[in-house]
Chains A and B, each alone.
Chain A
């Protein structure tokens, strides 16, 4: 066996990342070497996204022939988790393309910078969901997050944007430090740096002999990931960052970090911690209860819509975490929840960026007062997404909450179930208020008619249709998430 065979080099498995990098290089060439008009940059980046989607499709082919397998000397893993994560990130890129392109177009001197940062962060997060080894995981996480720090502060004239960027940077780096110190502690105590090796090592030495240091290490790693998904008590950055960043980028930033971190957390729990999960019960329950109650408490009196969505994100993180931490079937329920939540999140931020239509970060609840009068279509889709977040029946939010809570019930976690039910009911207040302001409340200054492009109309219809579709016929998605988890049983 030669060295090259031993390395198991397979370019298909990292092809989505490679195609994103390829797009970035072409974009660099289009700006630095020759100056090109906007529409060429637009088509280059859009075809880059489409190419990435196609490469993800190729990865499915690789999985169907090879099954769960590791490449690049056990650094990169090809398994259903990575497939679902890659698909999710590629679709997030596709669905947020119109909003981030519009915002990037407005900053003329920095259009390419913004696009490059976005594609680089997507490539980093794709590496992160692919990784089996902690080195790869850390590198992917950092490529993704460092690009996002810069993206938050791209609008340098705006003080809010600067502030968001610095806060995101300081707290995000702190989270990365904690994350990597967790890996270091795990390495010190068990001499391992892989996800699979945790399970093997713990089974080998027996649960009672596992040193305390490795438990602290695992908790640090989980805390580092929870920072990225903004679960309380690690949520302090989220509202400020969402509020300060340019509105068109927030949808992408929020969705991609959440998707990647939750997929990695789900794999960490399914692959590494499956047999010792009950050791972390108290920790996870505390985080879930703090997230849902704290998020609901702060969300009730927000006048800034982006802050409201940030706190709603804290609540949803709590929901997703409650499933992930309950056991292997909870992971599948949580993945369902994650996918439907990301569809609604992307939809809401698309609506915001269409309404705001400019670079500024400001988006108050008064910006949408009287929206319904002139913009019926936008208001209806906005209402569908908001009701989806709230969990009204007939939307995907209801089904995902239903599956999650029945799952928790079967695991006999009655305290969590009651807290989650309570938050769901309380949530209707602050999710319905923007709809009330937009559609029912009488105001003087009505939002003027916004000319919708055909692509935006199509995008909003698709996202709203998906929200309704998964609410009526969730079977396909449930089967996908089941398949994802069952491959490891």
Chain B
């Protein structure tokens, strides 16, 4: 009888998802701090919100409770609302200055 070689399967636990979410959140946060294009900063916000969603879903799955998944729906709705208002603001700036860089926002200072 041929002895089967034991395959070592890495089990993907909740920790992995949480770590991934934390990394995504950090990437988004650093992007907000470093990048100067308003659209990219906007995408970073979306990335952070999705990291939050991943955290909620994995934790909800881990606990076997539904409320975390309910929360995700609300976060998605809020993200959509933010897209509407944010893109409108960015477009109205872009029309005036034909640039979406936040460097042009230097009128008010002091």
User: Interface on A for B, CB 8 Å cutoff?
Assistant: 134-135, 138-139, 142, 146, 149-150, 153, 156, 159-160, 162-167, 169-170, 173-174, 176-177, 180-181, 183-185, 187-188, 191, 193, 239-240, 243-244, 302-304, 307
Contacts and interface: CB of A to CB of B under 8 A. Distances in A.
B88 interface: yes
Nearest to A162: B93
Most A-side CB within 10 Å, residue of B25, B29, B85: B85
A134 B63 CA distance: 18
Contacts of B89: 149-150, 153, 162, 165-166, 169
A344 B89 CA distance: 31
20 contacts: A134-B71, A135-B70, A138-B75, A142-B78, A149-B85, A159-B107, A160-B107, A163-B108, A165-B89, A170-B102, A177-B29, A180-B49, A180-B75, A181-B51, A187-B60, A187-B68, A193-B68, A193-B71, A243-B108, A244-B108
Chain B contact residues, majority secondary structure:
helix
A304 B110 contact: yes
B92 interface: yes
Interface string B76-88: 0010011001101
A188 B108 contact: no
A185 B92 CA distance: 36
A306 B5 CA distance: 74
Nearest to A184: B55
B63 A191 contact: yes
A324 B13 CA distance: 40
B27 interface: no
B8 interface: no
Contact of B105 (A149, A166, A188, A191): A166
B45 A139 contact: no
B67 interface: yes
A193 B25 CA distance: 20
A304 B107 CA distance: 13
Given A139-B74, A173-B82, A177-B52, A302 B110 contact: yes
Contacts of A160: 107-108
Contacts of A307: 110
A380 B81 CA distance: 44
Contacts of A239: 108, 110
A146 B81 contact: yes
Given A159-B96, A170-B102, A177-B25, 11 more contacts: A135-B67, A135-B70, A149-B85, A162-B89, A162-B96, A166-B102, A170-B38, A174-B32, A176-B82, A181-B52, A188-B59
Contacts of A170: 32, 38, 41-42, 45, 102
A251 B35 CA distance: 32
Contacts of B63: 191
Nearest to A174: B32
B85 A169 contact: yes
Contacts of A150: 85, 88-89
Given A150-B85, A150-B88, A188-B55, A181 B38 contact: no
A154 B68 CA distance: 36
B52 A138 contact: no
B67 A156 contact: no
A138 B78 contact: yes
Nearest to A161: B92
Contact of A146 (B42, B59, B75, B85): B85
Contacts of A135: 67, 70-71, 74
Closest 7 CB pairs of A and B: A177-B48, A184-B55, A188-B59, A163-B105, A142-B78, A240-B108, A173-B45
